[in-house]
Amino acid sequence: MESRQLLYTGLKEKGFNLTDEQIYSLMEYMNLVLEENKKFNLTAIEEENEFINKHFIDSILMYDNSQEEMLVADMGTGGGFPGIPLKIVHPNWKMTFIDSTEKKLKFIEAACKKLGIENVEFVHSRAEDVGRADEHREKYDLVFSRAVASMNVLSEYCLPLTRLGGKFIASKGPKYQEELEDAKKAIEVLGGKVDNITEIMMPYEDIVRYLVICKKIKKTPLKYPRRQGVPSKKPL
């Protein structure tokens, strides 16, 4: 199947009816990433159909297709995943892309300009610092993260950014239960509660993703996140 068609059909099957404009933006974004990838490593996935499935469909299925206005962050966005595909499908969202590698953020920023994607912000920072900054702390309705750290560490990166009543959504593989077991204390201490685990069956492949959805039920104590490197060296 042609890649454009693969994208459209795979998402339609899951209840997303993308417009021609959205499909165009996604395909253009893929071209930009693959072009940049020749100079600077943004992704290990270079085959188009695999890119569509593992980067686009996988990212978009991290949320439903509701179109509410929301403040959203993508922690450790790397080459723009899941943030860029989610932003294209939810134009009403204000999306903040956070990563500790400036070069990656510069690329995403330039790509957003080329594609006319507005209402975006780029924060070059480590999670441990951005989580302490007044303008970001407990401000986001939704905080997404994929392939950044195990749940115990990731909770300290993402829950401080999540507003009371908001959600932190992590995409995980089949070992999510072990990760969650190790993260129980961290989630509680940081003011979260596991709200739901959603199983997502990927189209075209025999792969299941697990979305671990944590709700923010209490404020995060001021001593978190701890300083740079501590969350990963000494997970809560």
CA atoms lying within 13 Å on the CB side of residue 9: 9
Min. distance of Cβ 38 from ligand SAM in angstroms?
Answer: 18
Closer Cβ to ligand SAM, 1 or 110, answer by number: 110
User: Under DSSP, is residue 218 helix (H, G, I), strand (E, B) or coil?
Assistant: coil
Binding residues for ligand SAM, per CB under 6 A? 76-79, 81, 98-101, 104, 126-128, 146-148, 157
Q: Which residues pair with 220 in a beta bridge?
A: none
Binding-site annotation: residue ranges: 76, 81, 99-101, 127-128, 146
Q: Which residues pair with 29 in a beta bridge?
A: none
Closer Cβ to ligand SAM, 166 or 225, answer by number: 225
Q: From 231, 168, 204, select the one nearest 58 (Cα to Cα).
A: 204
Q: From 117, 123, 187, 198, select the one nearest 150 (Cα to Cα).
A: 187
The enclosing H or E element of 117 equals none
User: Under DSSP, is residue 228 helix (H, G, I), strand (E, B) or coil?
Assistant: coil
**Nearest position to ligand SAM, beta carbon:** 78
**What is the token pair recorded at 87?**
């932003």
Min. distance of Cβ 16 from ligand SAM in angstroms?
Answer: 19
Residues 6+ apart with CB under 8 A from 112: 84, 118, 120
Closer Cβ to ligand SAM, 49 or 100, answer by number: 100
**Whether the Cβ atoms of residue 141 and residue 134 lie closer than 8 Å to each other:** no
Min. distance of Cβ 89 from ligand SAM in angstroms?
Answer: 16
User: Under DSSP, is residue 201 helix (H, G, I), strand (E, B) or coil?
Assistant: strand
Min. distance of Cβ 59 from ligand SAM in angstroms?
Answer: 8
Closer Cβ to ligand SAM, 10 or 83, answer by number: 83
Closer Cβ to ligand SAM, 7 or 45, answer by number: 45
Token pair 């685990």 is found at 197
Min. distance of Cβ 143 from ligand SAM in angstroms?
Answer: 12
The enclosing H or E element of 197 equals strand 192-201
Q: What angle do CA 214, 66, 220 make, to 5 degrees?
A: 25
Closer Cβ to ligand SAM, 21 or 47, answer by number: 47
Min. distance of Cβ 124 from ligand SAM in angstroms?
Answer: 9
Binding-site annotation: residue ranges for S-adenosyl-L-methionine: 76, 81, 99-101, 127-128, 146
